[in-house]
């Protein structure tokens, strides 16, 4: 999606004095916010040193308090900068407007700017065990670096984002209010989710004991930048959902997005295979990234998190289907129902592997 001409001029003029010196191009494949690379027309090969930056329009329908995102990003970037060489990765620094603001409101839309890290790639999928290890280690290094920053210092971005009781309450309400046709189509899958009372109890008891940390909350591989030449991790990006949480959520989301042989939109769930080798690489990489700075209870919780995240996301897909597809965009009538079945299958396969692994 290209920026409209009025948007080019109105938004850019908040950050640069001469808009004609820059071109604006879509950047990344994000589904929530609109993200662009603002590139200086000078042919200098080092874009990050040549006045280029990232410009982003925050989706205020999803992020109802966009100022909280910006304030959190400022706090995180300052903290990581102060760590110096203790934090080995590049930092996405907020860029102020010409008037000194880090969030600007233009024609009803919220815009912010960030530094640009040049000469990088952002993979969409995990290619092999080595990359899985690198990715998990990098996300762990990020969380480890933020351990010295109080989790309560960050403002909430999305209330009860990975809160299982809240998701189950919404699920129950959706069942009560669902259209009879959708309820009939979903009945078998609803029962499967409802049969997991023991697992739900384990999670609810666990969170009473776990320490809260600042977590990323969206640990997909495409939220990492890798150097184009060395293929080494270079930066953790997309910090919009950083807030107080549990490490098991971050680890679980990596497992959810990396260990299935098919995508979450694939309805052919009979062909799904759990990638055990990738799982083991994620686990060893994540633990190595903390270099021993992880509590035993947190360590043990990671295996619960690996099961929890496909369960929660699947429950969210099923809830949205029952409500008439009001949150997730869909391509066909049963799309969210198929996604929910896909995630439940992954929950089962993950659970089976972890049970076998412990025996």
Domains of the chain by start residue, with CATH: 5-118 (3.30.200.20), 129-358 (3.90.1200.10)
CB atoms within 10 A of CB 65: 14
Instruction: Convert the pLDDT of each residue in 264-319 to its tens digit.
Output: 999 999 999 999 999 999 999 999 999 989 999 999 999 999 999 999 999 999 99
Burial code of 43-57, b = ≥16 C-beta within 10 A, e = fewer? eeeebeebbbbbbbb
Which CB contacts under 8 angstroms, 24+ apart, belong to 193-201?
A: 193/311, 193/314, 193/315, 193/318, 193/344, 196/311, 199/307, 199/311, 199/351, 200/164, 200/168
- 61, burial (CB in 10 Å: exposed 0-12, middle 13-18, buried 19+): exposed
pLDDT band of 139, cuts 50, 70, 90: very high
pLDDT band of 8, cuts 50, 70, 90: low
pLDDT band of 127, cuts 50, 70, 90: confident
Mean pLDDT of 227-246: 94
pLDDT for position 19:
79
Asked if 193 and 343 count as a contact pair (C-beta separation under 8 A), the reply is no
Q: Which of 13-27, 132-146, 190-204, 222-236 has the lowest mean pLDDT?
A: 13-27
Asked if 112 and 58 count as a contact pair (C-beta separation under 8 A), the reply is yes
In sequence order, what are the beta bridge partners of 122?
none
Q: How many percent of the chain have pLDDT more than 70?
A: 94
pLDDT band of 66, cuts 50, 70, 90: very high
Nearest Cα neighbor of 118 from 78, 90, 86 is 90
Higher pLDDT, 237 or 3: 237
pLDDT for position 50:
60
pLDDT for position 2:
46
Task: Read off the tokens for 246.
Answer: 């549990």
| The pairing of beta strand 53-58 with beta strand 109-115 | antiparallel
| Highest-confidence segment of 37-41, 158-162, 331-335 | 331-335
Mean pLDDT of 232-245: 94
Q: How many percent of the chain have pLDDT more than 90?
A: 79
Higher pLDDT, 291 or 8: 291
pLDDT for position 5:
43
CA distance 166 to 228: 41
Mean pLDDT of 199-224: 96
Mean pLDDT of 250-276: 97
Mean pLDDT of 323-350: 95
Instruction: Name the average pLDDT for the chain.
Output: 92
Q: Which of 40-44, 96-100, 211-215, 268-272 has the lowest mean pLDDT?
A: 40-44
Close Cβ partners of 87 (under 8 Å, ≥ 6 residues apart)? 80, 141, 145
Q: Which of 14-18, 41-45, 46-50, 103-107 has the lowest mean pLDDT?
A: 46-50
């Amino acid at each position: 999606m290209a920026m409209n001409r009025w948007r080019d001029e109105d938004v850019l003029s908040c950050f640069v004095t001469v808009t004609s010196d820059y071109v604006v191009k879509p950047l990344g494949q994000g589904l929530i916010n609109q993200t662009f690379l603002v590139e200086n027309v000078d042919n200098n090969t080092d874009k990050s040193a040549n006045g280029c930056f990232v410009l982003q329009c925050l989706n205020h329908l999803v992020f109802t308090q966009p100022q909280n995102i910006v304030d959190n990003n400022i706090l995180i970037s300052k903290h990581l900068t102060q760590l110096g060489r203790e934090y080995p990765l590049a930092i996405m620094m907020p860029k102020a407007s010409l008037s000194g603001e880090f969030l600007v409101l233009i024609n009803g839309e919220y815009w912010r700017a960030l530094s640009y890290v040049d000469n990088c790639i952002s993979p969409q999928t995990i290619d092999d065990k080595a990359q899985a290890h690198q990715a998990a280690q990098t996300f762990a290094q990020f969380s480890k670096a933020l351990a010295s920053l109080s989790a309560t210092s960050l403002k909430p971005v999305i209330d009860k984002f990975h809160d299982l009781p809240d998701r189950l309450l919404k699920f129950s309400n959706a069942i009560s209010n669902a259209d009879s046709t959708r309820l009939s189509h979903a009945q078998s899958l609803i029962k499967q989710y409802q049969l997991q009372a023991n697992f739900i109890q384990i999670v609810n008891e666990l969170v009473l004991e776990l320490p809260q940390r600042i977590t990323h909350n969206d640990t997909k591989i495409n939220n990492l930048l890798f150097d184009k030449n060395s293929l080494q991790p270079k930066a953790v990006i997309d910090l919009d959902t950083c807030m107080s949480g549990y490490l098991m959520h971050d680890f679980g989301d990596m497992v959810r997005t990396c260990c299935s042989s098919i995508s979450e939109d694939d309805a052919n769930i009979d062909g799904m295979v759990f990638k055990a080798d990738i799982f083991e690489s994620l686990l060893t990489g994540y633990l190595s990234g903390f270099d021993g700075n992880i509590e035993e209870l947190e360590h043990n919780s990671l295996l619960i998190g690996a099961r929890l995240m496909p369960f929660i996301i699947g429950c969210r897909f099923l809830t949205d289907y029952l409500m008439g597809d009001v949150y997730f965009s869909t391509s066909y009538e049963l799309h969210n129902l198929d996604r929910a079945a896909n995630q439940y299958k992954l929950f089962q396969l993950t659970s089976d592997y972890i049970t076998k692994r412990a025996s």
